[in-house]
Amino acid sequence: MNLDDFLENDERREVQLLQLLLKAGAAGCLYTTAITTLGVSGSTMGTTVAALQQRIRGFDAAADISVTDSGGQRCICLQTRTPVNFSELYRQLLVQSKSYRILLTLLQKGKVSADELAQLLYISKPAVFRRIKLLNQVLAAFSLQIKGGTLIGPEIALRYLYYRLLLNSHDYDTLASFTEAYSLRQFIAAFEAREHLKFSMIGRLKLSIWLDIALKRHFAAEQNRVKTSKEPLLSLDHNHLYRGIRNWLFDLARQYALVIDEFEVSSLYIFMTSMEILDLDDRDLSPVAQYLDEVTPEIKKVRAQLMARIELAYPAFKRRFTGDTQLRIRYILNQIQMHARFFSGHFHLFDGERINYQVDQSVLQHLERMAGELAMLTFDHPQQSYSPEQLLFLKRRYLNVLLLIHVQSDAPLYVGICMHDDWSITAGMVARLRVALAGYYHVIIDNAVADCVYDLLITNSATAANQIKAKERYLLTGIENRYDLEQIRALLATIDQKRKQ
Render pLDDT for 36-91 as a digit per residue (tens, 0 to 9). 999 999 899 999 999 999 999 988 888 899 988 877 788 999 988 888 888 888 88
Question: Is the four-CA dihedral 199, 205, 206, 210 of positive or negative sign?
Answer: positive
Strand 453-459 and strand 443-447: pairing? unpaired
What are the residues facing 414 on neighbouring strands?
444
Which residues of the chain fall below pLDDT 70?
Answer: 1, 3, 220-235, 344-360, 380-385, 408-411, 421-423, 438-441, 478-481, 499-501
What pLDDT shows up at residue 411?
A: 67
Between CA 236 and CA 167 the distance in angstroms is: 30
78: Cβ contacts below 8 Å, ≥ 6 apart? 18, 21, 22, 28, 56, 63, 64, 65, 84
Helix (H) or strand (E) holding 74: strand 73-79
3-class state of residue 415 by DSSP: strand
The amino acid at 423 = W
Between CA 60 and CA 28 the distance in angstroms is: 19
Contact in structure between 157 and 274 (CB atoms under 8 Å): no
DSSP letters spanning 176-208 = HGGGG-HHHHHHHHHHHHHHT--B-HHHHHHHH
Between CA 486 and CA 496 the distance in angstroms is: 15
3-class state of residue 82 by DSSP: coil
- Measured between alpha carbons, how far is residue 250 from residues 188, 243, 247, 259 in Å? 14, 11, 5, 9
What are the residues facing 80 on neighbouring strands?
none
What pLDDT shows up at residue 117?
A: 94
Reported pTM: 0.76
Contact in structure between 357 and 403 (CB atoms under 8 Å): yes
What pLDDT shows up at residue 215?
A: 85
3-class state of residue 310 by DSSP: helix
What pLDDT shows up at residue 452?
A: 85
Between CA 405 and CA 314 the distance in angstroms is: 9
What are the residues facing 78 on neighbouring strands?
65
What pLDDT shows up at residue 105?
A: 94
Please, is 449 exposed, middle or buried when counting C-beta atoms within 10 Å of its C-beta (0-12, 13-18, 19+)? exposed
Contact in structure between 29 and 66 (CB atoms under 8 Å): no
Helix (H) or strand (E) holding 45: helix 42-56
Closest CA to 78 of 48, 47, 56: 56
* pLDDT, tens digit, 9 for 90 and up, residues 253-306: 888 777 888 888 889 999 999 999 999 888 889 989 989 988 878 888 889 999
Closest CA to 30 of 67, 64, 59: 67
